[in-house]
Structure 1
Amino acid sequence: MDRKDKQPPGVLSHLRGIEIGSSDASSYCARLFADFRADVQNIEPPRGDRIRRTAPLTVKGQSAWFAFLNFNKSSTIIGPAAAGTITRLTALIEDCDVLIDGLDVDSANYPPIDVAAIRERHSGLIQIEASWFGRGGPYADFAAADSTIRALAGLIKLVGPAEGPPSHAPDFQTGNLAGLWGLSRRLLR
C-alpha cells in the first residue's frame, strides 16, 4: 500500500490525468490535480524531465523544485524517438480524463501529437495547455521565459532597489499562477 492508498478519496479522485511536455505551469497544474487525488502520470523522456535538473538542488544533487512539482504524481518514461511513441502517447491520452499539456513551452523532443483527432474520439477529454502567449494573437509565435512574462505583466518593477535595475527572484511565480488558473478552470466548469 503506497502513501496515496492510505489517504481518503479526494475531490478529483475519479479523474486520471496525463502530463506531457515540460513547463513549470503545466507541472504545477498537474501537481494540484494530484493533490486533489486525481491519478496523474508525468510522461518523461529517458533522460528525465528537464525540471529534474533545475536548482535548487539538494546535497545529493536532486532538484527540490522537481520534487515539489511532482509530489503525488507517478512518472512514465517514453523515449521520444522510440518506435511506437505516438501510438503509446495517443493510447495514454485516450484513456485519461485530463490532458495537462506543456508541449508548447518545452516539447521534451516529443513528436507532435494530434490532440484534435484524439478529442474527436474522446469528446470528454479536458485539455489544459500551457504556452507563453497562447496559440492565437499577435504574440502567438514568440518565445519567452518567466522573466519575459514578469516584465510584460509589470512584476519586474516590484523587485529590486528603486535606484537600481530590476532583479529577478527565481520563484516561478508566473508558472505557479498559470498552473493554479488551469486547475481552477476545471473545478469551476
Structure 2
Amino acid sequence: MTEARKPGIMDGVKIIDLTSIIFGPLATQMLGDLGADVIKIESPEGDLLRQVQPARNSMMGAAFLGSNRNKRSVVLDLKTDTGRARLRKLLLDADVMISSVRPAALARLSLDPETLQRENPNLITVAATGYGQDGPYASKPAFDDIVQSVSGLASLPSLRDADAKPDYSPTVLADKLGGVTTAYAVMAALFHRERTGQAQHVEVPMFETLTAFLLTEHLDGATFDDVPKDFGYSRMLVPHRRPVQTMDGFITILPYTNLQWARFFGAVGRDDMVEHPWVTNMEARSRNIGALYDMVAQIALTRSTQEWVDLMETVDIPAMPVRNLADLPNDPHLVATGFFQQVEHPSEGAIWTTRPPVRFSATPARHDHRPAPKLGEHTEEILGPDGD
C-alpha cells in the first residue's frame, strides 16, 4: 500500500465543526489532517474569516484557506427549526461536535451537551470558549487580542523594561494555542471513550489555556510566595536575551549547559572564562545571565553570520541565523523535508500550504485529503437534494 493510500490515524471519525475564525478551525484542520471527516457547519453568511484579505475570489481569503483544508462545508441556518433539525440528524452518528458558539446560546437552541448526548450517547461535545464557564467572565466575548491582554501576555515587555508599553504578539497566539490544545483534548476524549465506552463534555477556555502556557516559566518566584506576586522568569527578561548582531546580520547563539558555555568561550579564545563560576555553576550563571548574554553580544560582532554558524557547529553549540519569513521557502532544511507544498485548488488555482509537521510512520498526516471548501460546497452531498 502506498503512503498516499494509507488511512490517517483518525480515519472513520466524524466531527461536526461549529467553529469559526482561527481557534476552532485550526483544531479541526489538525484533526482533518489526521484523517477525520470534518463537516464544517456554516451560517448562510459563512465563516467571517472567509472575508479577510488577501483573496483571489470572494469568500476564499488566504487566512481561511490556511485553516480550513481537509473539511467539507454545509450551510445551515441554526436560527430556524429546519436548520437545527438537520444539524441534529448529522449529530446522530457523529463522534465529536466542536463549537465556538457561546454555551448559553447553544442551550437556547437546545443544542447543549446534555440534550445532544441523550440523543447520541457516544457523542463527545467540545466547547471552544473564551473563558471557563464556572467564572465571572463566562459570558464575555473573546478574541485573540482580548485574551493576549487579559492573560498578561501583552504586558510582558514591561517585565523587561518598566517604560515599555503593552504590546500584542504579532501572531494570533491565543487562537493558535487554543486550537492545538483543543485538538489534543479531542484525541484524549476519543481515547477515553475507546477504553471505557463513555463519551464526555470537554471545555477548552482560551484565557486559561494561554495563562497556563505563560506561567509554565513565568510563575517563577511566585511559586514560593505566600501570596503569588514575584512573577517573571529572569532569563527570559534580561535586556540582552535577543538575537545578536554579527558583522553582516543577526544570529542566535545559545550555549546552555556548563559544558556548552565552556566550549563557547574556548572557541572564541576567552580561556579566562572557561573556569569562571558563571560557566561552571548553573546557579551563579542564572543570577548573572544578563552579563553573559552581554558578553556574547559583544563577541558576536567579530565574525560574519555564516562564520558563526560554522564555528558553533564545530563545537556543537546551538546557533542559527535570524530568518525573515520570506527566507523560509528557500531554507535548505525545509526544502529537503518538503515542508512547503504548492497544490492546485479547484477554485483558487495554485496556492501554497505547509505539510503537517508531525510524522507518523504507519498513519501519515496529510495536507491534501481535501482542499478548503467553498461556502456550502458539500451541503447537497451530505444532506441530499432535499436537505434531508
TM, length-normalised to structure 1: 0.82
- For 1:138, the equivalent position in structure 2 comes to 136
Query: How many Å apart are 1:120 and its aligned residue?
Result: 1.7
2: CA distance, partners of 1:8 / 1:67: 24
The answer on whether the counterparts of 1:23 and 1:130 sit within 8 Å (CA) in structure 2 is no
Query: How many Å apart are 1:40 and its aligned residue?
Result: 0.2
- For 2:26, the equivalent position in structure 1 comes to 28
Of the two, which has the highest radius of gyration?
Answer: 2
Query: How many Å apart are 1:164 and its aligned residue?
Result: 4.7
- Is it true that 1:174 corresponds to 2:174 in the alignment? yes
2: CA distance, partners of 1:187 / 1:114: 21
The answer on whether the counterparts of 1:28 and 1:176 sit within 8 Å (CA) in structure 2 is yes
| Residues 130 and 63 of structure 1, relative CA distance in 2, 3 Å threshold | same
Q: Which runs of 5+ in 2 are unaligned?
A: 192-388
- For 2:99, the equivalent position in structure 1 comes to 101
- For 1:3, the equivalent position in structure 2 comes to none
- For 1:68, the equivalent position in structure 2 comes to 66
Query: How many Å apart are 1:140 and its aligned residue?
Result: 1.2
1: CA distance, partners of 2:131 / 2:84: 26
Query: How many Å apart are 1:139 and its aligned residue?
Result: 1.7
2: CA distance, partners of 1:7 / 1:70: 22
1: CA distance, partners of 2:131 / 2:50: 25
Q: Secondary structure at the match of 1:96?
A: coil
1: CA distance, partners of 2:157 / 2:68: 28
Give runs of aligned pairs for residues 9-24 of structure 1, distance below 5 A.
Answer: 9-24=7-22
2: CA distance, partners of 1:132 / 1:22: 13
2: CA distance, partners of 1:124 / 1:131: 22
2: CA distance, partners of 1:31 / 1:174: 17
Query: How many Å apart are 1:148 and its aligned residue?
Result: 1.8
Query: How many Å apart are 1:67 and its aligned residue?
Result: 0.7
The answer on whether the counterparts of 1:29 and 1:100 sit within 8 Å (CA) in structure 2 is no
Query: How many Å apart are 1:95 and its aligned residue?
Result: 2.0
| Residues 66 and 159 of structure 1, relative CA distance in 2, 3 Å threshold | farther
Q: Which amino acid aligns with 1:36?
A: L
The two structures, once aligned, show a CA RMSD in angstroms of 2.6
Q: Which runs of 5+ in 1 are unaligned?
A: 1-5
TM, length-normalised to structure 2: 0.42
The answer on whether the counterparts of 1:104 and 1:131 sit within 8 Å (CA) in structure 2 is yes
The answer on whether the counterparts of 1:157 and 1:166 sit within 8 Å (CA) in structure 2 is yes
2: CA distance, partners of 1:21 / 1:70: 11
Give runs of aligned pairs for residues 17-166 of structure 1, distance below 5 A.
Answer: 17-55=15-53, 57-60=54-57, 62-104=60-102, 111=109, 113-158=111-156, 163-166=163-166
The answer on whether the counterparts of 2:15 and 2:98 sit within 8 Å (CA) in structure 1 is yes
Higher RCO by CA contacts (8 Å cutoff, separation 6 or greater): 1
2: CA distance, partners of 1:159 / 1:14: 46
| Residues 84 and 159 of structure 1, relative CA distance in 2, 3 Å threshold | farther
Query: How many Å apart are 1:64 and its aligned residue?
Result: 1.1
Q: Secondary structure at the match of 1:19?
A: strand
Query: How many Å apart are 1:166 and its aligned residue?
Result: 2.8
1: CA distance, partners of 2:66 / 2:33: 11
Residue deviations 1:157-182, cap 9 Å, x none? 34699555333355221111111111
The answer on whether the counterparts of 2:154 and 2:169 sit within 8 Å (CA) in structure 1 is no
Q: Which amino acid aligns with 1:58?
A: A
| Residues 165 and 73 of structure 1, relative CA distance in 2, 3 Å threshold | same
2: CA distance, partners of 1:41 / 1:64: 20
Worse-matched range after superposition: 177-186 or 78-87: 78-87
